[in-house]
Amino acid sequence: MGGVILAACALLVAVLVLLPAPSHWRAKNASIILLILWLSIGNIITFFNRALWMNDYRNKAPVWCDVSIKLSSAVSIGIPCATACIARRLYLISRPSVDPPVAQGKRAQITHEILLCGVVPFAYAILTLVNQGHRFNIVEGIGCQPVIYLSPVSILIDYGTPLCISIISIVYSFLGLGNFLIRKSNFDSILERSGTGINIAKFLRAILFTIIDLLLLFPIFLAEFSIQLIYGRIKPYSSWESVHAGFSNVVILTKSMLDNSIGRRCIVLANLSSWALCLSALVFFILFGFNVDARHGYSRAVTWFKSILKSDSKGGIAGSEKINCSKTNNDLEMNNDSDRSEEPIGEDDNDIDNSTIYSVTTTKCGDIDSK
């Protein structure tokens, strides 16, 4: 039952977190747009893994597993990178000595955020191949899981990199919050001088999310790393061939195989990690999905949708009117032809009357068509 609830919640928040995206796209908040992308992707992966392997452990979607484990690696570094960019930007805005950004500075900032929050996660996902001992694991009830060959290299790449970026994000978040608390009385003027268009409410929502997100995800990632160090055996990274000797293998882990103290801890941490990602997306929607900009975007979307429906309904009505008009013209024309054939030639008055009726009817139908 818990797997069903988690899958449903993951799918729901994967959609909800996308709703505020248009307002941030218009504001050119690259780091927030990419954060939305990683949160949605992470929860979509959770949904499919739980739905496909809820009570199963067969290798029935190998291509999905190959793709999803790399996307999971990208998500694990993409979210900390995005929160670090947001926290750093908020810290720079909160400084009293900040200068208003110029156009070149804004473009450079967007470029840096795209590189750090978009390109780096994919590069990191490819880099995890260095420590991928075999293809993937399938855990019953959880789904596809990435594989890490525990060695000094994996400690540096697979665990050290996300931890360092998360720590940087934590430092920037608390520095920005400290600047706000110290300069609360004149913080409006500081934000206005920054030239970013951000107000205190937006600043606090953003800084609050970075802190909540790190409090949800960072402890769980740290616990997973600790379990690997305590219960795992650190092996030497002798060569690429030795690490990837059985790369094509797929390891199946059933619930009975994990019915021990270490296995139960791993399952609990996997579930906590999925729920934390789900809650993180929900917190983002609560903080950013009901502000003024987002509500205006929703109203514009509803208006556009209504206009589409209205135009479709008008098109249907116009089409039916055209059909009726064409039928009327054809009927009248046939009647006129039959009347003319029965009337004696040379009765000009009747000919004029018939042509007048026909021309008036045609004009009315033409007016409807033009409308």
Per the structure, the count of domains in the chain is: 2
**For residue 355, what pLDDT is reported?**
35
Alpha-carbon distance 40 to 23, whole Å? 17
Residue 246, pLDDT above cutoff 50 = yes
- 134 with 281, same domain: the answer is yes
In a domain, 187, yes or no: yes
- 131 with 198, same domain: the answer is yes
In a domain, 238, yes or no: yes
Alpha-carbon distance 142 to 253, whole Å? 10
Quick count: other Cβ atoms within 10 Å of Cβ 191? 20
Residue 149, pLDDT above cutoff 80 = yes
Given a contact cutoff of 8 angstroms between Cβ atoms, the answer to whether 141 and 255 are in contact is yes
User: Which segment of 58-62, 131-135, 237-241, 364-368 scores lowest on mean pLDDT?
Assistant: 364-368
Greater confidence (195 vs 58) lies with 58
- 83 with 226, same domain: the answer is yes
DSSP symbol at 7: H
Beta strand pairing call for 250-253 and 143-145: unpaired
In a domain, 297, yes or no: no
Quick count: other Cβ atoms within 10 Å of Cβ 209? 22
In a domain, 247, yes or no: yes
Residue 358, pLDDT above cutoff 60 = no
Instruction: Tell me the C-alpha to C-alpha distance, in Å, between residue 321 and each of 33, 64, 173, 309.
Output: 47, 51, 63, 19
Q: Which residues pair with 253 in a beta bridge?
A: 139
pTM: 0.78
What is the domain range of residue 146?
2-290
- 234 with 136, same domain: the answer is yes
Percent of the chain's residues with pLDDT above 70: 79
How do residues 319-354 score in pLDDT, each as one tens digit? 555 445 444 455 544 444 444 444 333 334 333 333
SS3 helix, strand, coil % of the chain, rounded to 5?
75, 5, 20
- 275 with 327, same domain: the answer is no
In a domain, 134, yes or no: yes
**For residue 45, what pLDDT is reported?**
96
Phi and psi torsions of 136, nearest 5°? -170, 170
- 74 with 9, same domain: the answer is yes
- 202 with 167, same domain: the answer is yes
Alpha-carbon distance 111 to 105, whole Å? 10
In a domain, 300, yes or no: no
Given a contact cutoff of 8 angstroms between Cβ atoms, the answer to whether 42 and 277 are in contact is yes
For residue 197, what is the domain's CATH number? 1.20.1070.10
